[in-house]
Every structure is written in C-alpha cells, then in structure tokens.
C-alpha cells in the first residue's frame, strides 16, 4: 500500500519518490512530483533552502479479512459529480466553463480514495443516478483514479486520469441523441456515427478548448486496443497513451456492470472474467493486473459454488486477492487465499 509522509530533507534517500511538486517561496516548481530523490536532487533542494519534502512510501502488501467493504466515494461527492457532468453535457456553450468544477470533483475523489485503508471497488459502487451517460462518465472517472492509484502512478497522472475519465465520452455531445438513445441494435451506418465520438471529443478538448493533451488523447484513444482492432485508427500496443489504456478498462468494466436499454447488467464476477480474458488483446495486461487487486467481484453473503462441488456463502473479503474470499460452508470455513487448489465457479 502506498502512503504519503513528510520527511526532513536530511532523511531523504534515492529510493524515495517525491509525492508533491516542490516549490520555492515564489511558487515556482523546483522539482516535479514523481522524481526520485537522488543525491543531486537533494543537494539542489538544500541549496534552495528546502527543509522538508513529501514522499511516497510503499509498505509490503499484507492481507486483511474484511467483513464489510465501504463505498469508494461518499454519496455527496458522487451526487456533485453527476450534477457537474449533467451541466457539462447539457450546456453546449463550451466545456471550458465547466472544467474548474470537474477539477474540484477529482480533487475530492483523490482525497477520499487516499483516505481509504483498503482501496477496493465493491458492487455497491455501481449505483447510478441521472442518465446513463453522466453516471457512466462519473464511474469511469472514479474507477480510473482507483486503477491509477493501484498502479502506483504519480499524483499528477492520477489527477489528469480522473479528468480524462470524466471527459472520455464528451464527443457524444456531437452524436445525434436518437442514435445514442436507441434501444435496439445499431445499423452499420449508425455505429460509424457513434465511433466518431472519439475524434469529436479530441477536437473539442484539444483543438477548441486546449486542455492538457493527455485528456484529449484519452477521449481519442479509449476504444483503441493493443491488438490493433479498436477505433478510430486501429493503432496497436505501444501507440496507445498509457492513461488511455486505463480509461479503456474502466469504460468497459463500468458498461458491463450497468443496466442498459438493450441488456441487463452483467454480474461483477462475470465482468471481471471478461476483462481478464481480454488482457493482452483488448486491454493492457498491466492495467488488468491492477484491476484484479481492487475489484471485489462477490457480495459478502452471496451464495457461491466451488469447483469441488461444495456450496457456501462469502463470509469475508481478502484484501490481498479480492476474488479469493473466505467462504463459509457446512464442512467448515474455507479461506481461498490459502486453499489455492479450490476456486469459485458459480454464484448460485
């Protein structure tokens, strides 16, 4: 688990990473967050009279068995985010006026997630208020921040990632509403129009609004795939921006676990199975690895069947491997974290 602590500069060593930008008395950035505290950096900061710095520390992961899992973000923050996105999508005068509110929302999300002792995405995090599009953008923003944190990204990347998640589908404001709201299969021509939301989003964000290029790239590339079978360009593997790869997984996972007009939601464990099956072809395996660390695919109390034929109920979640919980059965309690030869095969 990664935490942030303030240390005096004489305690700094090369193995520590700066958690925040270090600025001088005029507010000018001397060294960026994410920089390792090498000897020359420490000397440079000392020369500028810096006495303390904030660093990220990573302690070895240890398991905790949880009998309850809290929501990722508070109901108040979520409601504020949905309203912010509703305003942004409905007001066609321009996205620029809404960006400060979105930044505020992402700051709150990062603040709330940083306070969590165990960063886990539980099923109760998928409740959506408002229209699908706004709720989806909020979920993708929150999930992307959580995935970025699980991957140990620097704060600046996580912040940009959250904004990119909120805005990834903004290009849909230029796709006819009757196509987006259609409750049956799209014609090939309609699908071609929907695909354009990626380049529409890029144009609005980068060319018309001049936001950070990474945010615009997340809008452009979140449907690209490592195997080159995505859209709009079908660019493969290393050409997809690393942050767009994270939004791609958050986007698909959230779409799968949410009710749509043309199909009901898919249970979280099945959605996670689909994400895992797409590692390396549809999704970046490094992102999938992080997702497996934090998504809790079973409700506490849900009835499950193991591959030895035993049925039982999920009793506690193992934070180290949320997909391998502690299961109560008639024969006794089975901790799947330790019983590696057993696995859940169905929710019954």
Contact positions toward Fe ion, by CB under 5 A? 169
Q: What are the φ/ψ torsions at residue 5 (nearest 5 degrees)?
A: -140, 155
For Fe ion, the nearest residue by Cβ is 169
* Nearer to Fe ion among residue 220 and residue 327 (C-beta): 220
Total Cβ atoms within 10 A of residue 318: 19
Q: How far is the CB of 193 from Fe ion (least distance, A)?
A: 13
Q: How far is the CB of 168 from Fe ion (least distance, A)?
A: 6
Nearer to Fe ion, 221 or 319 (CB): 221
For the bound state, the minimum distance from the C-beta of residue 222 to Fe ion, rounded and expressed in Å, comes to: 6
- Closer to Fe ion by CB, 151 or 218: give it: 218
Q: Least Å distance between CB 48 and Fe ion? A: 44
3-state secondary structure 182-241: CCCCCCHHHHHHHHCHHHHHHHHHHHHCCCCHHHHHHHHHCCCCCCCCCCCCCCCHHHCC
Contact partners, residue 70, CB within 8 Å, separation at least 6? 116, 122
Nearer to Fe ion by Cβ, of 250 and 295: the residue is: 250
Residue number, 186 or 337, with CB nearest to Fe ion: 186
CB proximity list for 188: less than 8 A, separation 6 or greater: none
Of the pair 215, 304, the CB lying nearest Fe ion is at 215
Residue 108 or 251: which CB sits closer to Fe ion? Answer: 251
Shortest Cβ distance from residue 340 to Fe ion (Å)?
Answer: 38
Distance CA 94, CA 344 (A): 49
For residues 48 and 25, the answer to whether their CB atoms sit within 8 Å is: no
Distances (CA, A) of 181 to 176, 187, 190, 333: 9, 13, 12, 47
Nearest distance in Å: CB 347, Fe ion: 29
3-state helix, strand, coil in the chain (%, to 5): 45, 15, 40
Nearest distance in Å: CB 198, Fe ion: 7
Residue 308 token pair: 């030895």
């Amino acid at each position: 688990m990664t935490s942030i602590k303030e240390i005096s500069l004489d305690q700094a060593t090369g193995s520590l990473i700066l958690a925040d930008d270090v600025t001088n008395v005029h507010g000018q950035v001397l060294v960026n967050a994410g920089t390792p505290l090498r000897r020359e950096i420490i000397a440079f900061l000392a020369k500028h009279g810096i006495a303390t710095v904030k660093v990220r520390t990573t302690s070895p992961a240890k398991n905790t068995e949880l009998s309850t899992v809290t929501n990722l973000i508070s109901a108040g923050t979520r409601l504020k985010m949905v309203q912010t996105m509703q305003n942004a999508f409905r007001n066609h005068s321009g996205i620029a006026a809404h960006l400060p509110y979105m930044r505020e929302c992402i700051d709150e999300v990062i603040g709330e997630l940083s306070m969590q002792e165990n960063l886990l995405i539980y099923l109760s995090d998928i409740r959506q208020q408002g229209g699908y599009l706004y709720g989806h953008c909020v979920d993708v923003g929150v999930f992307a921040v959580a995935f970025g944190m699980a991957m140990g990204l620097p704060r600046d990347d996580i912040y940009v990632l959250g904004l990119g998640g909120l805005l990834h589908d903004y290009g849909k404001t230029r796709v006819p509403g009757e196509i987006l709201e259609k409750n049956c299969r799209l014609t090939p021509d309609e699908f071609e129009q929907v695909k354009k939301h990626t380049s529409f989003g890029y144009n609005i964000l980068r060319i018309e609004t001049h936001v950070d290029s990474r945010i615009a790239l997340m809008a452009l590339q979140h449907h690209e795939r490592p195997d080159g079978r995505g859209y709009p360009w079908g660019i493969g593997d290393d050409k997809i921006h690393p942050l767009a790869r994270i939004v791609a997984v958050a986007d698909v996972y959230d779409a799968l676990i949410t009710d749509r007009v043309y199909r009901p939601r898919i249970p979280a464990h099945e959605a996670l199975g689909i994400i895992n099956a797409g590692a390396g072809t549809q999704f970046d395996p490094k992102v999938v690895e992080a997702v497996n660390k934090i998504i809790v695919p079973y409700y506490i109390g849900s009835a499950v069947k193991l591959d030895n034929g035993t049925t039982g109920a999920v009793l506690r979640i193992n934070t180290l491997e949320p997909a391998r919980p502690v299961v109560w059965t008639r024969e006794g309690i089975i901790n799947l974290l330790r019983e590696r030869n057993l696995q859940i095969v169905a929710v019954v």
